[in-house]
A and B are shown apart, each in its own frame.
Chain A
Amino acid sequence: MNLTAIRAIYFFEMSRALRSIGQSLISPVLSTSLYFVVFGAAIGSRIEEVEGVPYGAFIVPGLIMLTVLTQATSAAAFGIYFPKFIGTLDEVLSAPMSFFEVTLGYVGAAATKALFIGLVILGTAFFFVDLSIAHPLWMAAFLVLTCLSFALLGFIIGIWAENFDQLQLVPLLVITPLVFLGGSFYSITMLPPAWQTVSLFNPVVYLVSGFRWSFFGQADVAVGVSLAMILVFLALCLGAIWIIFRTGWKLRK
């Protein structure tokens, strides 16, 4: 394992992120606060408790997931797209590094950035609602796994994208609907049975459900299933990246 090389990519990417840390933070924090005001205070006051949890608190895990998913995906997509676009990726491809090492460097940095933003939003949430976390360690584990798996997805998008439009469009077209339909703001048990079944094909359902369980101790699907699905998703992304590097698709001429 070329640890030095992984570290080189990781810290290079982190310093790029640090240069614009203000911008990276302000937008998610602001929009989450707006969600709290609108959903939590305005609408939430008219909605009864969901499964025994006040609505304002109920949406916190979903909101964090919404931001973390979007951030992890776009950070990783941009992280690999930019060097591909300006041509500095050639050097990385000619370095004595395996696909796994390259991926770990870029995806690790994007996941770290998303994780940090997720924690800041969690901190923000405490200003708006009463919150207690039932299983802090599981909460951390779900958060990290989510950051990693969606950074992997973003990494694939970044390799695939051929222009800036594609780079932004896909996260918007894929991630946002998945998250909104993934039970961020409601329990999927509130849906008609047919839609509940459809929802089970949405990976975000398992993330949000598992994550919510770590806060409140209750879930739409069994926690074990959630965890297993995340790991399957993660493995699928890794497999796809392995194939991409293997064939040189979009990377090597």
Chain B
Amino acid sequence: MPEPIVTIRDLVKRYDDGFEALSGVDLDIREGEILALLGPNGAGKTTLISSICGITRPTSGTITVGGHDTQTDWRRARDLIGLVPQEVKLEPFEMVAKTVAFSRGLFGKPHDPALIQRVLDSLSLGDKAGTPNMALSGGMKRRVLIAKALSHEPRVLFLDEPTAGVDVELRRGMWEVVADLKAQGVTIILTTHYIEEAEAIADRVAVIDRGRIRLVEETAALMARMGRKEMTVTLADPIKTLPGTLAEHGLTLSEDGYAVTYVFDSRAERTGLTRLLSDLLATGVRVTDVTTRQSSLEEIFVGLTNAAETGEAR
């Protein structure tokens, strides 16, 4: 396995008021991957990203980016990093193109108006180059933030909820931008509250909750390993109540009586499927269709954090 591009070891962040936002985070980010950082409000996502980017000072622990320690070799570490912050912060009176060019300058890259224009075009901001930031809509401002981060051609890009407040069409457009960047070899870490976003574009998902990484897993493997599945059996003739033997299986009957649904854990040793199906056939009902559905990442995620909660409460 090649060296990870970002390594985080035992990272602790205690804010001045004594609140511990990160309680020992360990995480490796692979070069070229898209990693989605998922977690509820206040989980520590922004704190984690800010610590890597040098905006927040870690209390203890080490972070390296491209092999450079962010504390001791910060200049070379930061050279590689682009950050799209969660909150929209822009100079109100400055023109879009100038704001973006400023970011490139800050990272020591030579002036390159053609590149800036290309970046703006790729984010559908091409015609806004000469507009002052304050005259942009919220979604446009967010895209200016992305343009600022891309202007200095980072190798590792952090996107802190990049698609919050962006309409559906543009969100898809942004996913394309992210996919293009990945194709160019950029490593991307994004936090998001839109689960379908992680599901759609992330290679791996890291779940963070109350300052700890609870799980890191390939998106597909996670779905397969943890997926609760739902089987729906459609009947030829409606039934009013479940026949005796079926009642024990915890099925739900649809209102019109045409469908019974069974929820099971596909990871479990015993799914109960075999017994259910034989019991079903024994009742003599006529079946017209059987479908199964994988639960979404969101459902998995809610289940996971709830489990952690009850686990800790005990």
Contact = CB atoms under 8 A, between A and B. Distances in A.
Given A87-B89, A90-B89, A93-B55, A253 B78 contact: no
11 contacts: A7-B105, A87-B85, A87-B89, A91-B103, A92-B106, A94-B53, A94-B54, A96-B79, A96-B108, A253-B55, A253-B57
Interface centre among A5, A8, A19, A98 (most CB of B within 10 A): A8
B76 A86 contact: no
Interface residues of B, number: 35
B83 interface: yes
Contacts of A87: 85, 87, 89
B189 to A, nearest CB: 14
Given A88-B89, A93-B54, A96-B75, A9 B16 contact: no
Interface in A9-47: 9, 12, 15-16, 19
Contact of A2 (B57, B93, B108): B108
Contact of A96 (B74, B90, B93): B74
Contacts of B312: none
A203 B293 CA distance: 77
B194 interface: no
A5 B107 contact: yes
Interface in B102-121: 102-110
B296 interface: no
B89 A95 contact: no
B79 A94 contact: no
Nearest to B77: A96
A97 interface: yes
Nearest to B104: A8
Given A88-B91, A91-B85, A91-B106, 8 more contacts: A5-B108, A16-B93, A86-B90, A87-B87, A94-B55, A94-B78, A98-B75, A253-B16
Interface of B: 15-16, 50, 53-57, 74-76, 78-79, 81, 83, 85, 87, 89-94, 98, 101-110, 148
A232 to B, nearest CB: 30
Given A4-B110, A8-B105, A248-B57, A94 B81 contact: yes
A94 B83 CA distance: 8
Contact of A4 (B54, B90, B105): B105
A96 B92 CA distance: 24
Interface of A: 2, 4-5, 7-9, 12, 15-16, 19, 83, 86-88, 90-98, 248, 252-253
A134 B243 CA distance: 112
A178 to B, nearest CB: 33
Contacts of B109: 4
A95 B110 contact: no
Nearest to B75: A96
Given A88-B90, A252-B55, A252-B57, A12 B102 contact: yes
A94 B74 CA distance: 9
Contacts of B148: 91
B124 to A, nearest CB: 22
B42 to A, nearest CB: 15
Nearest to A105: B106
Nearest to B78: A96
Contacts of A86: 89-92
A86 B50 CA distance: 17
A52 B75 CA distance: 57
B105 A5 contact: yes
Interface centre among A16, A94, A98, A252 (most CB of B within 10 A): A94
Given A86-B91, A88-B90, A253 B103 contact: no
B93 A19 contact: yes
Contacts of B110: 4
A19 B87 CA distance: 27
A8 B89 contact: no
A8 B55 contact: no
A62 B268 CA distance: 86
A97 B79 CA distance: 10
B89 A253 contact: no
A87 B89 CA distance: 6
Contacts of B106: 5, 8-9, 91-92, 95, 97
A90 B107 contact: no
Nearest to A7: B105
A25 B206 CA distance: 55
A106 B87 CA distance: 24
Contacts of A19: 93
Contacts of B93: 16, 19
Contacts of A16: 93-94
A193 to B, nearest CB: 49
A17 B79 CA distance: 29
Given A12-B102, A88-B89, A90-B89, A96 B107 contact: yes
Interface centre among A86, A92, A253 (most CB of B within 10 A): A253
Contacts of B79: 96
A21 B290 CA distance: 75
